[in-house]
Amino acid sequence: MRVLLHHGVESAAISTEASNMELVGIGSTSSDITVSRGKSGWEVTGADLSAANRQSDVLLIRSKAPFIISGKKGRRYPGDISCVIDSDDPVRFSIINVVEMSSYIPGVLAGELYEGWHDSAFEAQAVAARSYALSEIHQRVKHAWDVTDTPASQAYHGVAYSQAVRCADATRGQILTWEDSLVPGYFSSCCGGAAATALEAVGKNPVNDVPPLTGHGDPAHCTDAPRYRWSKTWEMAPVVEALRHWGRRQKDERMSQITSIRSMTSIHPNRHGRPTHVEIVDQSEASVSIRCVDLPFVLARGGMEAPSSGWLDASLEGDKLKVDGHGFGHGVGLCQYGAESMGSTGADKKAILDFYYPGAIIKKAW
């Protein structure tokens, strides 16, 4: 796995608990270094790089102990660290953790689930996360990295606690398949009681057009989740500005000219009853719509705190918008709170995966 930890940095402090690090193809250096880029290329404290090494596109670092990277809250990362120059700015670079899948999956479990949840929820998440990661590897062979360490891909915290390691090992090599094809194991924190399909909420990529990604039925297992239902109050001005900015980017004239909001209503439910769009009506009764899956991104890009999901309704109260929402995340595939609830009633890994990826077959790939 190639996991993006930082993008577009000019320098980074990198340390390890080992006595030294190896700059591959260059030699050893201290266990605490700073890597930077300048007009002459790479600079590494404590290392004398040749002209060729300075101008290389990649600086690969190895250690016998996990790495600690500045800006990552003291997390420890197994495997290697690859520093790769950015193609559009040669004085900036990305920091990538190159790690075996067997070490990557525990780090995802530690990032995605609460320690102490039932093992069956951890094991189901491990199979889903491994399937998602393999799908990204296959689709990003021409890129410098496969996934980020954030929920934009799947959260990854590096070296993990023992429960995460144990449950990852218990599912070693297991993936989700459909008719000999890999099923990307999408997941979200809480589906809010109704599933989205991958085609509507992730994209039209053919890998998403398989029955296991068309959503689950009843019952809703996540009703006890903190964000199964949620409420917020928004100032209208930043919402309007974010939508106008989105309209300009999308060349949507009606969206770009919106000046007020009277209501926001979730519309066009899929076969599971989950809306796919939000209709926005202004004070003049003119309306525009946006996909539910796009709305959190649009508001965050406009400087607001992103809502937990785009499945929401809002009404004008005074000069503010009173918002009522459902769930946390896009709602495709595994619902983490639902998986934990199923685990608490005795459901095993297979039962959880059968419910959230109907028709998928668990196969051992290695």
**pLDDT given at position 347:** 98
Mean pLDDT of 100-105: 98
Going by pLDDT thresholds of 50, 70 and 90, the confidence category of residue 88 is confident
Mean pLDDT of 59-65: 97
Q: What is the mean pLDDT of the chain?
A: 96
Residue 43 CB burial class (10 angstroms; 0-12, 13-18, ≥19): middle
- Residues 34, 36, 41, 45, Cα dihedral to 10°: -20
Going by pLDDT thresholds of 50, 70 and 90, the confidence category of residue 227 is very high
Which tens digit of pLDDT belongs to each residue from 64-87? 999 999 999 889 999 999 999 998
**pLDDT given at position 304:** 94
Q: Which residue has the tokens 């360490």?
A: 149
* Alpha carbon distance 326, 317 (integer Å): 20
User: pTM score, two decimals?
Assistant: 0.95
Least Cα distance to 181 among 359, 2, 3, 350 occurs for 359
Going by pLDDT thresholds of 50, 70 and 90, the confidence category of residue 39 is confident
Give the side-chain half-sphere CA count within 13 A for 179: 5
* Alpha carbon distance 29, 63 (integer Å): 10
* Alpha carbon distance 338, 325 (integer Å): 18
Concatenated DSSP letters of 39-76:
TTEEEETT----HHHHH-SEEEEE-SS-EEETTSTT-E
Mean pLDDT of 44-54: 92
**pLDDT given at position 46:** 85
**pLDDT given at position 182:** 98
Going by pLDDT thresholds of 50, 70 and 90, the confidence category of residue 92 is very high
Concatenated DSSP letters of 269-306:
E-TTS-EEEEEEE-TTS-EEEEETTTHHHHHHHTTSPP
Mean pLDDT of 21-45: 94
**pLDDT given at position 253:** 94
Is 192 in contact with 326 (CB distance < 8 Å)? yes
**pLDDT given at position 73:** 87
> How much of the chain, in percent, has pLDDT values that exceed 90?
95
Which tens digit of pLDDT belongs to each residue from 160-212? 999 999 999 999 999 999 998 999 999 999 999 999 999 999 999 999 999 99
**pLDDT given at position 93:** 97
Mean pLDDT of 352-366: 97
**pLDDT given at position 280:** 97
Is 52 in contact with 23 (CB distance < 8 Å)? no
Min mean pLDDT across 86-100, 105-119, 158-172 is at: 86-100
C-alpha distances in Å from residue 41, one per residue of 11, 36, 119, 364: 12, 8, 47, 44
**pLDDT given at position 86:** 92
Model confidence at 361: pLDDT above 90 = yes
Mean pLDDT of 6-32: 96
> How much of the chain, in percent, has pLDDT values that exceed 70?
100
Mean pLDDT of 142-162: 97
Model confidence at 346: pLDDT above 90 = yes
Mean pLDDT of 7-27: 96
- The H or E element that residue 100 is part of is none
* Alpha carbon distance 342, 349 (integer Å): 9
Which tens digit of pLDDT belongs to each residue from 234-284? 999 999 999 999 999 999 999 999 999 999 999 999 999 999 999 999 988
**pLDDT given at position 74:** 84
